[in-house]
Amino acid sequence: MLLAEVAATSDAVAATRSRLAKRAAIAELLHRTAAGEAAEADQAAPNIEIVVAYLAGELRQRRTGLGYAALRDLPPPATTATLTVRDVDAAFASMAALEGPGSAQARSTAAAALFGAATEREQAFLRGLVAGELRQGALDSVVVDAVAEAAGVPAAAVRRAVMLRGATGPVASAALLADEPLAALETFTLEVGRPVRPMLAASAPDIAAAFEKLGSDDAPAELCVDVKLDGIRIQVHRRGDEVRVVTRSLDDITDRVPEIVEVVRALSSDDLVLDGEALGVGPDGVPRPFQETAARSATREAGGATSEAELASQLQLTPFFFDVLHADGRDLLDAPLRERLAVLDEVAAPHTVRRLVTSDPEAAAEFFAGALREGQEGVVVKSLEAPYAAGRRGAGWVKVKPRQTLDLVVLAVERGSGRRQGWLSNIHLGARDPDGGFVMLGKTFKGMTDEMLEWQTARFTELKTDDNGWVVTVRPEQVVEIAFDGLQRSTRYPGGLALRFARVLRYRDDKSAAEADTIETVRSLAGF
């Protein structure tokens, strides 16, 4: 399978807003991939897995070591498309494996060779994959539905298999290459020790809206309201003394969190799969900033092993569990939350998330306010009748968090790709420095309507001071109101801070850059 075919499908997907059209385009490519590999069945699965990953906007290698600098100065593109997806996957795998002295130079040389063999369109596609900014409107959920369409099986069967396997690629291979796709999907089951995709929550602006989403038209529904901790999502598997701890992205951090392993080994049940959060808590009982928890649990770089003594001297993490997927030989995925909570209280007490079960929105709102006073992130409102629907933002869980906003200044803007081709899209955000100038805090392309993209393309073309073909630098005059979920320490940006999940609310023509929020204001919000 040529990379050019995948890039062309990505363009087609990006060019339409229709989810059905996106799904059909991806399904057609998956059909061709499976048919073309029939003659080399021993190599078929990797090709399908690579294509599935790329269409979801991801590389199979979690870390390649390539940064933005490596993507700025690309070699001239090739004139003919010759790269296969297997060539590309092998090249990124080799780069990811490089370490030690000379690895940076070797990685740059390998990247130049790969991009030099790519056409102009393929270079843009690869750059989007590496940067994690392939904006085509086809996230993994669309790809999962396309796999179902291509295999002629119910989407629910594919989603469940993906949840249990923890990855879409192997499930796609099984469904598309088997004579009996449904039977192949049924071979994916819950295994203690193998991570499953976590259940995700939809969002609501307030408690009333969350209750409306989950409530009944006939009578007020009794719902569970969990405190939402600002930690890292963890999934814990235990079989006897063997304990495994993974993150939301299914990265294994067991060796980084010996204190969590110790807590789990002390539980009464020795056959468990638990879902929860790990949180750093100060001596005063107040949660520590998210960045401290994230840094404490971060994966060690190669060659940077940390001893248990060194880990013990760092911030200690405490696990708080809010769900149980398996206990004492019994799978609980399909059991209603009400039943799972009863089991959770038996097997994980006293390490459970504080919750309120109520049908009264006012009581839930008071609980929400109390959580915020404690320094927590918010709450998650949950249906007591919902099963554990992993890997998608279903109707069973709804999170409610207070919205923070800042008025920032646009410093630069990147040219769009895919459906945003021809527009100026990703904006660089800066806070005002009282001593002069602006301090960059991050970038975002979230929250932009087509009308906004059209407006900002004209506006930033007027303000342009430099253009390197990708990034357009502008006069720092335009103020934009940004909503965000928090702040974290960052070495990428000069202010040492970065916005979490930033999104555009509106452009502020009523404010000048001199009225934008200052870097001191931002730092005070972060508590740094």
Q: Encode 344-367 in three state secondary structure.
A: HHHHHCCCECCEEEECCHHHHHHH
What residues are annotated to the active site? Answer: 228
| Cα-Cα end-to-end distance for the chain | 50
The pLDDT of residue 58 is above 90? no
Over the stretch 80-116, which tens digit does the pLDDT of each residue have? 999 999 999 999 999 999 988 988 889 889 999 999 9
Type of residue found at 525: L
- Mean pLDDT of all residues belonging to the chain: 87
pLDDT at 186: 94
Is-contact 160 357, C-beta < 8 A? no
Is-contact 148 158, C-beta < 8 A? yes
As a whole number, mean pLDDT of residues 333-339 equals 96
- Tell me how far apart the alpha carbons of residues 300 and 310 are, in angstroms, rounded to a whole number: 13
pLDDT at 297: 73
> Percent of the chain, pLDDT > 70?
90
For 510, half-sphere exposure in the C-beta direction (CA atoms, 13 angstrom radius) is 2
Give the pair of three-digit tokens for residue 274: 């638990």
pLDDT at 7: 93
The pTM is what?
Answer: 0.75
Helix (H) or strand (E) holding 243: strand 242-247
Q: For 131-145, 268-282, 454-468, which range has the lowest pLDDT when averaged over its residues?
A: 131-145
As a whole number, mean pLDDT of residues 411-437 equals 87
pLDDT at 490: 81
As a whole number, mean pLDDT of residues 189-203 equals 91
- Band (pLDDT 50/70/90 cuts) for residue 303 is very low
Number of H helices, E strands in the chain: 19, 19
Q: For 3-17, 146-160, 307-321, 343-357, which range has the lowest pLDDT when averaged over its residues?
A: 307-321
Q: List residues bridging with 506 in a β-sheet.
A: 481
Q: For 44-53, 241-250, 251-260, 274-283, which range has the lowest pLDDT when averaged over its residues?
A: 44-53
pLDDT at 19: 85
